[in-house]
């Protein structure tokens, strides 16, 4: 199945409280907002891209090759964004990433898209941690997402306890993206400084 029949989803609903500014609008040195770079990476791989945001009107002026969708449960975290995405996506499977992944690796994403779809969620594990915001989800996850949110549980990892998960191993990732840069996210000012100092603009969207 692969990229054809897959919706690309960027979750841009976070408050960026720890960073102190909107991550989606950050320029890491290539002249384009981070959200645009992330969207363009997915647009190269998927035939539909959605951006789910609490205030999508903030991004109207970016000229994104994507459909802007308002989060149906704004302020309730990425699991709520996933609920909206799975409801709005045209396809049965969605490649879902956070908007704060500056070094997304096209080769790793292609590998994920090309795997047999014998799962409800395909989630990478790197350095001992699962990465549910760099994953592929089936629409069949939607009832479980909604049930969790209705019960007050907002953690994306909680979903993985309820659905059939295929874990992308560290060995699989390292064979394509040896440093795991594709999974590096901007969570705090120290992460932003690290990304800026890395000087890796040429490696954005690595093949």
> Domain with 152 in it: what CATH number?
3.90.550.10
- Show the tokens assigned to 59: 């991004």
Burial class (CB in 10 A: 0-12, 13-18, 19+), 116: exposed
Give the chain's mean pLDDT.
88
Q: From the centroid of its chain, how far is CA 160? A: 16
Mind listing the pLDDT tens digit for each residue in 177-189? 999 989 988 775 5
> Helix %, strand %, coil % for the chain, to 5?
40, 20, 45
**140 part of a folded domain:** yes
Q: Domain range holding 15?
A: 6-199
The answer to whether residue 204 scores a pLDDT higher than 60 is: no
Taking the alpha carbons at both ends of the chain, their separation in whole angstroms is 20
Place of tokens 């998927």: 46
Alpha-carbon distances, residue 119 vs 87, 148, 194 (angstroms): 18, 19, 35
Mind listing the pLDDT tens digit for each residue in 128-179? 999 999 999 999 999 999 999 999 999 999 999 999 999 999 999 999 999 9
Burial class (CB in 10 A: 0-12, 13-18, 19+), 36: buried
Mind listing the pLDDT tens digit for each residue in 90-121? 999 999 999 999 889 999 999 999 999 999 99
**207 part of a folded domain:** no
**74 part of a folded domain:** yes
- 8 A C-beta contact, residue 1 and residue 8: no
- 8 A C-beta contact, residue 169 and residue 125: yes
**142 part of a folded domain:** yes
Structural domain count, the chain = 1
CB hemisphere CA count around 83 (13 angstroms):
24
Q: From the centroid of its chain, how far is CA 79? A: 11
**86 part of a folded domain:** yes
**205 part of a folded domain:** no
Q: What are phi and psi of 7, to 5 degrees?
A: -90, 140
pTM score above 0.95: no
Q: Which of 73, 101, 127, 145 is nearest to 9 (CA)?
A: 101
**175 part of a folded domain:** yes
**1 part of a folded domain:** no
């Amino acid at each position: 199945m692969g990229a054809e029949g897959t919706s690309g989803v960027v979750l841009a609903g976070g408050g960026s409280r720890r960073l102190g500014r909107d991550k989606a609008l950050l320029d890491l040195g290539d002249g384009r907002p981070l959200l645009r770079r992330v969207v363009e990476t997915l647009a190269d791989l998927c035939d539909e891209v959605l951006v789910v945001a609490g205030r999508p009107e903030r991004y109207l002026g970016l000229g994104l090759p994507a459909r802007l969708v308002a989060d149906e449960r704004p302020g309730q975290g990425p699991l709520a964004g996933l609920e909206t995405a799975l409801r709005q996506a045209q396809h049965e499977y969605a490649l879902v990433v956070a908007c704060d992944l500056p070094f997304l690796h096209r080769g790793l994403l292609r590998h994920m898209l090309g795997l047999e779809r014998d799962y409800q969620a395909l989630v990478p594990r790197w350095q001992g941690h699962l990465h549910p915001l760099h994953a592929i989800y089936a629409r069949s996850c939607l009832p479980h997402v909604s049930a969790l949110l209705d019960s007050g549980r907002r953690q994306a990892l909680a979903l993985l306890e309820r659905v059939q998960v295929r874990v992308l191993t560290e060995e699989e990732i390292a064979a394509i993206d040896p440093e795991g840069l594709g999974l590096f996210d901007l969570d705090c000012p120290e992460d932003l400084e690290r990304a800026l100092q890395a000087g890796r603009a040429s490696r954005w969207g690595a093949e």
